Amino acid sequence: MRFTGAMQAGALAAAFSLVSFAAHAESLRSALASAYTNNPNIMSALLDVKSTAEGIALAKSGKLPSIGVSGSAGFDWTAGGPSGSSISESYRLGASYNQTLFDNFKTDAQIEQARALTELSKYSLRNAEQNVLLSVVQAYFAVIRDTQLVQLRADNMAFFEAQVGSAEDRLRLGEGTKIDVSQARARQAQAVASYKAAIASLQTSQASFERWVGRKPKNLSGDFSFGRLLPASIDSAIQSAETRHPALLSARAAIRVAQAGSDAANSAFGPTLNLIGSLCAVGCFGDASVGGMSGSVNLSLSIPIYAGGALGASIRRANIEQIKSEVDALAARDQIRESVISSWSSLQNATSQIESAQSAVESGQLVVDGTIQERDVGQKTTLDVLNAQAELTTAREGLITARASKMIAAFALLAASGRLSAEDLTLDVTVHSADGYIAKVEDVWQELRALDD
């Protein structure tokens, strides 16, 4: 079994993909910035914040007056009959005013709930940002890892190809056996299969990269300076997570939402007082030719007594939701603590794996070189060479995987600590924020100013 032309071309392509061209290099920072700016997940979360913020304006409208103008025009005619034919016109123009003066603080509770929901959606935006950036990191280093594995396994195929040729030459010279040739060919077949599997994994990683970053990967570099971003200890990581992680902050905001919902449900038992006014300016007396105006101002008081059990059920449900929100917050806290500990352990383990793999690669290379020399003088067999090379390849693959895992674990620790954001990473982007939009919807008189404009 020999190297085919297609396999050689694939190996060369993988090799060229590792060459770094400074003019076209894709740094991790640029990939993160591109994803932050263009990823639809973040855009969707930002739009969700704006949509949720509109609930504040809707809730505030419950305390403000509703003012409207109405007009009508009519034309009536009759033909024949006792009164003969007649034609009449009618016009009417008036205004109405309606405002809730008191609703047992129900509207206040609804405004608080709307603000808490908006705060929750803001933290959800930060959580979406963390998830996207972490996915970019995972895809980025997966491409680097799989590209290096493709190159390594291509080199491994070339090594076993040479061993097949060497075994066949030794057989022709009477120094080897057919078993040596068969063993070399078997290992070559395994190397070809491993190479094809690496190509498939690389294609999958490239597709994931394109999904999150928005373009195909090209000449990636694994360098990244964390500075003082990474926590110095697991305790500081947990403390950071408890104060900064957006999922935990979202859970706390959800408690506020549930508390305000409970207040609104309880206030439904109280009285409601409305001010209702109307004004007629034209056609108030059935004849447009008759001048004069008319109007009315009324106070309307309503007190609920019985609503078929709906009021009690809404209160009980709101209380249950409040308890549930507190339980969910405890679950979120435990989950985040687990994530921090797991990420910290993964980072420490990857660091140890790198040290171990580096030693294994150095010693494995010496073993392969020495075994080949001993085989050439008849002290070792071809199988010994093949086994030594397989162990060296395993050690090299372990080193490649450990390096990628360490970087991914470092960013996972940042995410678990609540510090994986465009602002914390100082990315060269405009940070997404809906604060300006929220301030706008808090201005309940903007509709009137828009009319003036």
pLDDT digits (tens, 9 = 90+) for 221-230: 878 888 889 9
- How confident is the prediction for the chain on average, in pLDDT? 87
Is 15 a residue whose pLDDT tops 70?
no
Phi, psi of 273, deg, nearest 5: -120, 125
pLDDT at 417: 95
- Sequence spans of domains, the chain: 24-62+106-269+319-452
Q: Quick one: average pLDDT of 270-283?
A: 90
Among 95, 96, 98, 76, smallest CA distance to 87 is for 76
Please check the confidence at residue 41 and state whether its pLDDT lies above 80: yes
pLDDT of residue 119: 95
Residue 186 contacts residue 194 (beta carbons within 8 Å): no
Residue 21 reports pLDDT greater than 60 = no
The model's pLDDT over 115-151, given as tens digits with 9 standing for 90+, comes to 999 999 999 999 999 999 999 999 999 999 999 999 9
pLDDT, average across residues 97-102 = 94
3-state secondary structure 347-405: HHHHHHHHHHHHHHHHHHHHHHHHHHHHHHCCCCCHHHHHHHHHHHHHHHHHHHHHHHH
Please tell me whether the overall predicted TM-score, pTM, comes out greater than 0.85 for this model: no
pLDDT at 96 over 80: yes
Cα 403 from chain centroid (whole Å): 25
pLDDT at 214 over 50: yes
Coil/strand/helix, residue 424? coil
- What phi and psi values does residue 443 have, to the nearest 5 degrees? -80, 100
* 23 vs 177, more confident: 177
14 dihedral zone (left: phi>0; alpha: psi -120 to 50; beta): alpha
Among candidates 346, 331, 326, 328, which has minimal Cα distance to 415? 346
Strand partners, 96: 68, 278
Q: With bands split at pLDDT 50, 70 and 90, how would you rate the model's confidence at 449?
A: low
Residue 82 has a pLDDT of 67
Torsions phi, psi of 134, nearest 5?
Answer: -65, -40
Geometric angle at alpha carbon 260, from 259 and 263, rounded to 5°: 90
Across 383-410, average pLDDT: 89
CB 56 within 8 A of CB 114: yes
How many alpha carbons fall within 13 Å on the CB side of residue 96? 7
Specify the pLDDT at position 266: 93
d(CA 342, CA 189): 38
Pairing of strands 66-78, 294-302: unpaired
Instruction: Please count the other Cβ atoms lying within 10 Å of the Cβ belonging to residue 346.
Output: 17
Task: Give yes or no for a contact between 106 and 264, defined as CB atoms under 8 angstroms apart.
Answer: yes
φ/ψ of 341, rounded to 5, equals -65, -40
- Its CATH architecture, for the domain 24-62+106-269+319-452, is Up-down Bundle (1.20)
Which of 90-99, 164-173, 328-337 is the least confident region? Answer: 164-173
